[in-house]
A = this chain, B = another copy of it.
Amino acid sequence: MAKKSLSSGRREESLSQERIIEASIELLDSSGESGLTFRALAERLATGPGAIYWHIDNKTDLLTAACDAIIARTMQESRSGDTAKQSIRAVALGIFDAIDAHPWVGSALTHAPGQLPVVRILERIGQQVRAMGVPADKQWATVSALLNYILGVSGQNAANTHMARTRGLDRANFLGAIANDWSQLDPVEYPFTRSIAGQLPIHDDRLDFVAGIDLILDGL
């Protein structure tokens, strides 16, 4: 008997960087960072682990490439904004939302300094900072403050959702558990943390994120 075309949704194409990256993203989204293994990837692509190495150098590169695919999409979608400030806000929020949806992108960005995905963000922000008329000798400091803030908050946010998923909780319950820990800290040593514990589960991270961006933009 000849093999029927029992394609399960997808045609039988040969392996390629794109197909590998696409499958990696699916795996990362569904099973998190630890879900991306060459064996799981090989099974999903109906091949052996060795085949993947023909198209990709190592796991680090694979993760950076998957991260770049998400960031590239995000940058294309967040082109809106009439003024430079609005454009910066739009990029920042785009990244925030992308990392919220794909937590693994947060740590991938942190572990690939100076690489393509980070450069895409850097460039976009840099062009807007220039458009705002920031003098040349202050552009670097401004852009790097913004970039670091964006990557920092998004990374922390991703860590939260990732930890929550790891423990099988939703975000609210996870933050609630931390708030509970905080409220039981020593009142003498940790007065501030205790006092804001209640705000942790209810406050809007996204709103505070934009507030921080504005804080930096206004400081110029």
Contacts and interface: CB of A to CB of B under 8 A. Distances in A.
A122 interface: yes
B196 A139 contact: yes
A85 B119 CA distance: 32
Q: How large is the interface on A (under 10, 10 to 19, 20 to 34, 35 or more residues)?
A: 35 or more
A136 to B, nearest CB: 9
A173 interface: no
Interface in A149-192: 149-153, 155-156, 159-160, 163, 175, 178, 181-182, 185, 189-192
A159 B113 contact: yes
A8 to B, nearest CB: 36
Contacts of A151: 152, 155-156
B149 A113 contact: no
A218 interface: yes
Contacts of A110: 107, 110, 155-156, 159
A50 interface: no
Which has the most chain B C-beta neighbours within 10 Å: A119, A178, A192, A208? A192
Contacts of A123: 189-193
Interface in A99-121: 107, 110-114, 119
Contacts of A214: 219
Contacts of A156: 110, 113, 148, 151-152
Nearest to A177: B114
Given A110-B156, A203-B140, A211 B145 contact: yes
Interface string A52-82: 0000000000000000000000000000000
5 contacts: A114-B160, A141-B208, A145-B212, A151-B152, A218-B219
